[in-house]
Amino acid sequence: MIQTESDKKEFLWGRVPYFAITASNITSGEFRLYALLTLYAFKTGKAWPTIKTLCKDLNIAQASVIRQLKKLKSVGLIKIGKGVDGNLKRNYYIPVMPKLDGEEKKIFEKNHLKKILNEKDPEKDKPDYVYFILDEQNDHIKIGVSNDVDKRLENLRKQRGAGELTLICLLEGGYELEKELHERFHEFRLYGEYFQYSEQIKAFIGKVRKSGLDCLASDGR
């Protein structure tokens, strides 16, 4: 792809591998050039910018760009080839990226996933609650799950406009408990998480309150 002055480069981005960031055998200027080439090569793996374009992007002289390209090639961070871009014959640049195959790829993915799972996320660390939200006007009740019930109730009120929505019961638990309750009251299901506010559901909520499991009571609501 021929790079033009009209390209909105402020919206472009590239990928820079760890080994390039930590490379001790290249200068900061050479690293900047490598990073820029990863941007141009992001879609196809090949970068087609002219020397003039690279000079303008980095605000450095042509001699510096040529010298840095040679250095990046000599240390194995880029490959340089010749090809046709549009109707023009010119150089293209391939930033070397890590290739993980077989067992290495499995180990990388496993460790990467483990790292993500171990990262602390305040929102995800909140406990889940199964809530019972009553639509008094229609005599419907919503049985759902959330780790931020107040925010969920606020959003539901905005979505439904009118209609009084009241949180009447709260149980500590996640999607398994929600599924169990949906199955228990399946005959009263209207759609999605909405159920007819039946005598059976009223009786269940009454038992929860008597047993002291209703988190609304312990929450002082």
Q: Give residue for tokens 């759609």.
A: 191
pLDDT given at position 17: 78
Strand partners, 134: 141, 166
Examine the pLDDT at 7 and tell me if it is beyond 50: no
User: Which pLDDT value is given to residue 164?
Assistant: 80
| pLDDT(168) > 90 | yes
Window from 40-49, 95-104, 134-143, 161-170 with minimum mean pLDDT? 95-104
Q: Is 29 exposed, middle or buried (0-12, 13-18, 19+ CB in 10 A)?
A: middle
d(CA 91, CA 84): 8
pLDDT of residue 170: 92
State both tokens at 46: 């090949």
State mean pLDDT over 70-98.
Answer: 84
Predicted local distance difference test score (pLDDT) of residue 13: 64
The domains found in the chain, sorted by start residue, are: 9-95 (1.10.10.10), 125-218 (3.40.1440)
Tell me the CA end-to-end span of the chain in Å, nearest whole number: 62
Cβ–Cβ < 8 Å for 47, 91: no
The segment with the largest mean pLDDT, out of 9-13, 98-102, 132-136, is 132-136
| Number of residues that this document lists for the chain | 221
Q: What is the pLDDT at residue 119?
A: 54
Report whether pLDDT(167) > 90.
yes
Q: Per-residue pLDDT for 133 more than 50?
A: yes
Q: Is the dihedral of CA 190, 195, 197, 203 positive or negative?
A: positive
Rounded distance, CA 195 to CA 182, Å?
9
- Is 162 a residue whose pLDDT tops 60? no
Mean pLDDT of the chain: 79
The stretch 88-107 carries a mean pLDDT of 69
Q: Model confidence over 180-221: pLDDT tens digits?
A: 999 999 999 998 899 999 999 999 999 988 888 877 765 545
Nearest CA to 95 out of 50, 57, 42 is that of 42
